């Protein structure tokens, strides 16, 4: 998780001076801001400008602010891509609520198929939600199984989440 940190003053003067800073290099947001101050020590009261960023959901950063709970994300030990997919659903107001709900809602990364409903159908059948005799497996329409249960789940970028959290 990287951020290019400049200042509004430098930008308004025509300078893009700044540096890419990796959030993981700092223990918390306070330490990160102290490093930003050191980088821009030529200004008395620098107003930081986050000109670009990588691997951070848009909802957690803007040109002039960073979500105060961002270090919950930096220290997150689960599947970060799955969490980002969950955050894209946009159901909560703060990062800690997303992480708590994610821990209950995340089910799996679906196997690659030609479509999500078929992948969901395979997941449900393999998970024992349907008792399909082995000799009939080649005749089952897994897409229809997926379609019949799709409203109980959210599928984002191949990640499956329980919709009832």
For residues 26 and 7, what is the distance between their CA atoms, to the nearest angstrom? 20
* Domain identity same for 61 and 97: no
DSSP code per residue over 1-24:
-EEEEEEHHHHHTT----EEEEGG
Answer yes or no: do 70 and 7 share one domain: yes
**pLDDT given for residue 26 in this prediction:** 96
Do 87 and 163 have their domain in common?
Answer: yes
- Looking at 43, 75, 107, the residue that finishes a domain is 75
Low-confidence residues in the chain, pLDDT < 70? 113, 165
Residue 38's pLDDT is what? 97
> Positive or negative CA dihedral for 63, 65, 70, 71?
positive
Beta strands in 13-103 (DSSP E): 19-22, 48-54
Per-residue pLDDT tens digits for 92-138: 778 888 899 999 999 999 887 678 888 898 888 888 777 888 888 78
106 with 58, same domain: the answer is no
The DSSP letter of residue 156 is E
155 DSSP β-pair partners: 160
Query: For the CA atoms of the chain, what is the radius of gyration?
Result: 22
Q: Please indicate, yes or no, whether residues 90 and 36 belong to a single structural domain of this protein.
A: no
What distance in Å separates the CA atoms of residue 49 and residue 61, rounded to the nearest whole number? 11
Let me know: does 19 contact 32? Beta carbons within 8 Å.
no
* Contact of 94 with 41, CB cutoff 8 Å: no
Q: Which domain holds residue 85?
A: 78-165
Q: For residue 3, count CB atoms less than 10 angstroms from its CB and return exposed for 0-12, middle for 13-18, buried for 19 or more.
A: buried
Identify whether the C-beta of residue 146 lies closer than 8 Å to the C-beta of residue 140. Answer: no
């Amino acid at each position: 998780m990287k951020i290019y940190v400049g200042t509004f003053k430098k930008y308004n003067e025509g300078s893009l001076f700044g540096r890419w800073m990796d959030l993981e290099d700092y223990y918390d947001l306070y330490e990160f801001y102290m490093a930003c101050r050191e980088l821009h020590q030529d200004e008395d009261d620098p107003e930081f400008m986050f000109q670009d960023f990588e691997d951070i959901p848009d909802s957690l950063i803007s040109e002039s602010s960073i979500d105060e709970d961002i270090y919950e994300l930096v220290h997150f030990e689960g599947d970060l891509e799955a969490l980002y997919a969950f955050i894209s659903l946009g159901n909560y107001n703060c990062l800690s609520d997303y992480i708590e709900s994610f821990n209950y809602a995340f089910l799996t990364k679906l196997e690659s198929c030609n479509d999500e409903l078929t992948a969901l159908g395979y997941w449900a059948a393999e998970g024992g939600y349907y008792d399909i005799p082995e000799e009939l497996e080649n005749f089952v329409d897994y897409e229809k199984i997926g379609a019949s249960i799709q409203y109980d789940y959210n599928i984002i970028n191949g990640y499956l989440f329980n919709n009832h959290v």
